[in-house]
């Protein structure tokens, strides 16, 4: 059974309230769950543990796995501890509560969490959009009459989750192409991403939004690309930064600085060694290589202000965040050793 949401603003607000409530509950049980020293490595060097979630669905190179395999975290005196799968909507609450130390998701979720009161801050950029490797791709059947934004009006658009990049990228596409006040002019249908293709092919939805590379989808046959987030925002709309709680940053700034350096180095290595990055991820995640797509990571891990401002403006447009949120509340590059180079 699929779930339809029409009053999405209310749904997102309720979700944020539930997340913050969960964070307060978990916080009471997590006073002693702070980053600690691990056992010494083979050279007797003490390593700081950083707890991170396990990726539930590995579909592209994983920067944690790459940095581990290349020894970048070890060089910085850091050891990752994987604490299990945490659903994306629960990442902010888990970081605030201290269940994990670092989270990563599309920057709109960081913005929404901070607007709702979460004391977190993004410190290093992860994946980034390019024309060839966008963050999101929206497709129709190749014989569909839908060819542009106007054709989407009144149609069913299937996406994995409500809000964020999934829902607001189509709204931004519609507005950019002359469809004003797009909420309510398409029917948003929520279902697992794994079910979207079948739903599209059997006519349950008219457009499907995927976090997949265009070439991967086109190889499936019978589909055509309607638009990607690159068509809407260019390169600045698909950033997925890593964030810590403000408490962790205040107490362990040097650990954050070393973490950022390791991720930044892994980003650049992965961008220039894309097949090797896939190979490392396949080996460490034990997944089928055919399921992985190329990924593009922000050079040197630097967070560009535009990646935050474009989503702040869009979420304000739809009343999903407070009107006084500023980019400096969302991210900082102060821990990145390459930010002034």
Burial of 218-238, coded b for 16+ CB within 10 Å and e otherwise, reads eeeeebeebbbbbbbbebbbb
- Same domain, residue pair 13 and 123: yes
pLDDT at residue number 126 = 95
CA nearest neighbour of 204 among 215, 195, 212, 213: 195
Contacts of 269 (CB under 8 A, 6+ apart): 66, 70, 277
- Same domain, residue pair 86 and 220: no
pLDDT at residue number 216 = 84
Q: How confident is the model at residue 341 (pLDDT cuts 50, 70, 90)?
A: low
> Do residues 126 and 239 make contact, with C-beta atoms less than 8 angstroms apart?
yes
The answer to whether residue 22 scores a pLDDT higher than 80 is no
- Same domain, residue pair 62 and 78: yes
Contacts of 33-37 spanning 24+ positions with Cβ under 8 A: 33/98, 33/99, 34/98, 34/248, 34/251, 35/101, 35/248, 35/252, 35/255
Longest CA–CA separation in the chain, Å: 65
The count of structural domains within the chain is 2
Q: What digits encode the pLDDT tens for the residues 89-117?
A: 889 999 999 999 999 989 999 999 999 99
**pLDDT (average), residues 205-222:** 92
Of 173, 200, 234, which residue constitutes the final position of a domain? 234
pLDDT at residue number 41 = 59
**Phi first, then psi: what are they for 188, rounded to 5°?**
-85, 125
Domain carrying residue 291: 8-128+239-330
Q: How confident is the model at residue 40 (pLDDT cuts 50, 70, 90)?
A: low
Q: What digits encode the pLDDT tens for the residues 313-333?
A: 999 999 999 889 999 999 999
pLDDT at residue number 155 = 98
Structural domain contains residue 324: yes
Q: What digits encode the pLDDT tens for the residues 244-291?
A: 999 999 999 999 999 999 999 999 999 999 999 999 999 999 988 887
Eight-class DSSP state of 60? S
- Same domain, residue pair 123 and 243: yes
Structural domain contains residue 169: yes
- Same domain, residue pair 189 and 299: no
Structural domain contains residue 338: no
Element spanning 66, H or E = helix 63-69
The answer to whether residue 24 scores a pLDDT higher than 50 is no
Which residues on adjacent β-strands are paired with residue 59? none
Q: What digits encode the pLDDT tens for the residues 143-160?
A: 999 999 999 999 999 999
Residue 4, number of CB atoms within 10 A of its CB = 9
Q: Is 207 helix (H, G, I), strand (E, B) or coil?
A: strand
- Same domain, residue pair 153 and 272: no
Of 193, 209, 234, which residue constitutes the final position of a domain? 234
For residue 38, give the CATH number of its domain.
3.40.190.10
DSSP-assigned states of every residue in 132-172: SS-S-EEEEETT-S--SHHHHTT-EEEESSSSHHHHHHHHH
pLDDT at residue number 6 = 42
The answer to whether residue 4 scores a pLDDT higher than 90 is no
The answer to whether residue 20 scores a pLDDT higher than 70 is no
Contacts of 83 (CB under 8 A, 6+ apart): 51, 52, 53, 54, 99, 100
């Amino acid at each position: 059974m699929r779930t339809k949401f029409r009053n999405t603003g209310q749904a997102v607000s309720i979700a944020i309230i539930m997340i913050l409530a969960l964070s307060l509950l978990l916080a009471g049980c997590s006073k002693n769950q702070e980053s600690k020293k691990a056992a010494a490595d083979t050279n007797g060097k003490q390593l700081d543990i950083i707890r991170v979630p396990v990726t539930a669905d590995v579909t592209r190179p994983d920067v944690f796995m790459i940095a581990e395999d290349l020894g970048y975290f070890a060089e910085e005196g850091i050891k990752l501890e994987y604490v299990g799968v945490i659903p994306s909507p629960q990442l902010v609450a888990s970081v605030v509560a201290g269940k994990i130390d670092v989270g990563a998701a599309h920057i709109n979720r960081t913005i929404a969490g901070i607007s709702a009161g979460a004391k977190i801050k993004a410190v290093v950029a992860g994946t980034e959009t390019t024309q060839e490797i966008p963050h999101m791709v929206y497709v129709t059947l190749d014989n569909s009459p839908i060819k542009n934004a106007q054709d989407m009006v009144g149609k069913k658009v299937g996406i994995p989750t409500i809000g964020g990049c999934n829902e607001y990228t189509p709204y931004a596409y519609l507005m950019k192409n002359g469809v004003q006040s797009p909420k309510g002019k398409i029917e948003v249908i929520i279902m697992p991403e794994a079910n979207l293709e079948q739903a599209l092919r059997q006519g349950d939805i008219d457009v499907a939004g995927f976090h997949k590379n265009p070439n991967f989808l086109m190889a499936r046959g019978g589909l055509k690309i309607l638009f990607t987030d690159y068509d809407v925002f260019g390169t600045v709309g698909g950033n997925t930064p890593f964030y810590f709680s403000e408490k962790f940053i205040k107490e362990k700034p040097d650990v954050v600085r070393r973490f950022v350096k390791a991720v930044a180095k892994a980003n650049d290595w992965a961008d220039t060694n894309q097949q090797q990055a896939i190979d490392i991820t396949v080996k460490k995640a034990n997944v089928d290589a055919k399921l992985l797509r190329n990924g593009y990571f922000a050079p040197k891990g630097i967070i560009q202000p535009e990646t935050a401002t474009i989503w702040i403006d869009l979420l304000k447009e739809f009343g999903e965040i407070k009107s006084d949120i500023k980019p400096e509340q969302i991210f900082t590059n102060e821990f990145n050793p390459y930010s002034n180079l």
